[in-house]
């Protein structure tokens, strides 16, 4: 029984080795179609109306897509936006602050509030890959465009004590929640290694969102915010990609 198990393991190992070798050779000289799973991180810089409210932020997310044998990539992705710099703090909290800018909690003592940027971005994207056969025909410069929805808001947290002024439904009057249609442009370099192990892209992404307030009342304005905003994100984006090849091309190699 032990010899039989060893023989079966040896056959399975040889089959796997041959399969990997075939895939490596195919990747190196053929444009292949594949489902792509990826995780990404972006360092983003705000411009236009967004820069009046937030500073530099980060975005992390994931996507699933399909790369054709013509080097077109169709994908859907979602990203979580977060940052720790919020502008206009004094104006935002003026209604619940003392003359010295302090905030009194529910116990009558001073408390400390921290403000953060939070948001999300959902989009569908189409990209075209222009290959220079380095390191293989599945790698090269890509350009892409996407459409979707983007929203962001201010998250307020108490560092100690309690602050009923910004809890529950009251928080909605301070969070400046905005959302709307967004489109994006991206360009960079994508590498899909022959071994399937090292697959990543590095690019520059521009996002433009046309947002408006999603709250009925904003306390610092003492009424609704009826303005229309144009929010820009400029970012450096890196993606780690996991390909799942549908099948090897109709070429056979024997080892």
| Cβ contact 215:178 at 8 Å | no
Mean pLDDT (the chain, rounded)? 83
pTM, two decimal places: 0.80
Same domain, 38 and 55: yes
Same domain, 51 and 131: yes
d(CA 235, CA 46): 9
Q: What is the pLDDT of residues 99-116, one digit of tens each?
A: 655 676 656 566 677 899
Question: Is 120 among the domain residues?
Answer: yes
Rounded percentage of the chain residues whose pLDDT exceeds 90: 55
Same domain, 44 and 26: no
Q: Please determine, for residue 19, whether its predicted confidence score (pLDDT) is greater than 50.
A: no
d(CA 22, CA 247): 11
Q: What is the pLDDT of residue 14?
A: 42
Number of domains within the chain:
2
Question: Is 253 among the domain residues?
Answer: no
Tokens representing 190?
């994508």
Q: Is 85 exposed, middle or buried (0-12, 13-18, 19+ CB in 10 A)?
A: middle
Q: What is the pLDDT of residue 122?
A: 98
More confident residue, 239 or 255: 239
Residue 4: domain span: 1-30
Same domain, 219 and 189: yes
| Cβ contact 122:61 at 8 Å | no
Same domain, 19 and 105: no
Q: What is the pLDDT of residues 125-167, one digit of tens each?
A: 999 999 887 788 999 999 999 999 999 999 988 776 566 677 7
d(CA 56, CA 52): 11
Same domain, 73 and 87: yes
Same domain, 48 and 12: no
User: Which residue intervals of the chain are DSSP H helices?
Assistant: 2-29, 89-92
Q: What is the pLDDT of residues 72-86, one digit of tens each?
A: 999 999 999 999 999
Same domain, 111 and 231: yes
């Amino acid at each position: 029984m032990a010899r039989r198990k060893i023989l079966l393991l040896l056959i399975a190992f040889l089959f796997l080795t041959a399969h990997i070798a075939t895939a490596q050779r195919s990747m190196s000289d053929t444009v292949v179609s594949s489902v792509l799973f990826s995780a990404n991180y972006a360092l983003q810089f705000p411009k236009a109306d967004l820069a009046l409210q937030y500073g530099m932020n980060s975005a992390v997310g994931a996507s699933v897509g399909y790369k054709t044998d013509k080097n077109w990539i169709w994908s859907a992705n979602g990203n979580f936006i977060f940052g720790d710099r919020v502008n206009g703090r004094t104006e935002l909290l003026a209604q619940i602050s003392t003359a010295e800018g302090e905030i009194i909690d529910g116990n009558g003592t001073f408390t400390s509030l921290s403000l953060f940027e939070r948001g999300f971005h959902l989009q569908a994207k189409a990209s075209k890959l222009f290959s220079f056969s380095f390191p293989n025909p599945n790698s090269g410069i890509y350009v892409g465009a996407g459409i979707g929805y983007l929203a962001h808001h201010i998250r307020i947290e108490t560092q100690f004590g309690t602050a009923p002024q910004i809890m529950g439904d009251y928080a909605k009057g301070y969070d400046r929640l905005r959302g709307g249609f967004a489109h994006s442009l991206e360009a960079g370099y994508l590498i899909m290694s022959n071994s399937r192990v090292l697959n990543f892209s590095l690019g520059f992404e521009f996002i433009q969102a046309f947002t408006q307030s999603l709250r009925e009342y904003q306390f610092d304005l003492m009424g609704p915010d009826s303005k229309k905003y144009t929010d820009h994100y400029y970012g450096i984006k890196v993606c780690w990609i996991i390909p799942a090849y549908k099948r090897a091309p109709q070429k056979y190699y024997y080892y």
